[in-house]
Amino acid sequence: MTDNVRHAPQVHDGPSSRHPLVPYINAWSEEEDPPGKVIEIPGRGLVYADELVTDRDDRGVLWFRTISRPRQGRPNFQRVHPLRQRRAMRRLLCQVCAEPADVTEDGVLWLLKDQRTDWPDWPKGMGVTEPPVCLSCVPVAARQCPALRKGAAAIRARSFPVSGVRAMIYRSGPDGLNPIGEKNIPYGNSALRWARAMNLIRKLNECTVVSLEELCQKSK
């Protein structure tokens, strides 16, 4: 699978009619993490005690195990579902509805927290864990997403390779392995041996900031 794949999705679980504003990538209360004890193997790093082939991605990185029960229970807006986030990022699906993200000659559409004052060419070279969006979901995402309420920016990117993961890092201690914090880690970094991934990261390049107001008008 290429990093810039733009194929239409297969059957998916999009937002429900009962909770129409719950994004596809959000977790639900019935999606608690299944049991999975992590242990240390000298010379290899972090592994599950009962590890399966499906516990790692195609680059050998260990991921959090997840149960997929979308629309069951209550929406958890504080937690992103690792498997659905990873699927949306790999297939370039809208993070809200899981339909294909909007694409023009200027690139794929992302809706991000406005940080244009951070550096002159923002967001060039920035790693993002937020999947892209489709045109019709721009207004609701800008209005409902807590991270975007203080200011959103619409970005089109022509280049967006998969570059790494956001993961929980573990350290060996007297009482075994302990989680010490989350970190963005590029693929190929040795720290991945001690990490359990939760989000896929794409690196945005060849970026253009576009008018959010115009996009909202076009989506009607």
| Nearest by Cα to 66 from 214, 185, 160, 196 | 196
Rounded CA gap, 77 and 62, in Å?
A: 24
pTM metric for this prediction: 0.86
Query: Amino acid identity, residue 151?
Result: G
| Domain spans in the chain, listed from the N-terminal domain onward | 26-219
Strand order in the sheet with 176-186: 127-128, 195-203, 162-173, 176-186
Q: pLDDT tens string for the chain (220 positions)?
A: 334 333 333 333 444 444 457 899 999 988 987 878 899 998 889 999 999 999 999 999 999 998 888 888 898 888 899 999 999 999 999 999 999 999 999 999 999 999 998 888 999 999 999 999 999 999 988 887 777 877 899 999 999 999 999 999 999 888 788 999 999 999 999 999 999 999 999 999 999 999 998 998 887 7
Q: Which helix (H) or strand (E) holds 217?
A: helix 212-218
**Within a 13 Å sphere around the CA of 33, how many CA atoms are in the beta-carbon half?**
13
Token pair recorded at residue 21: 């504003």
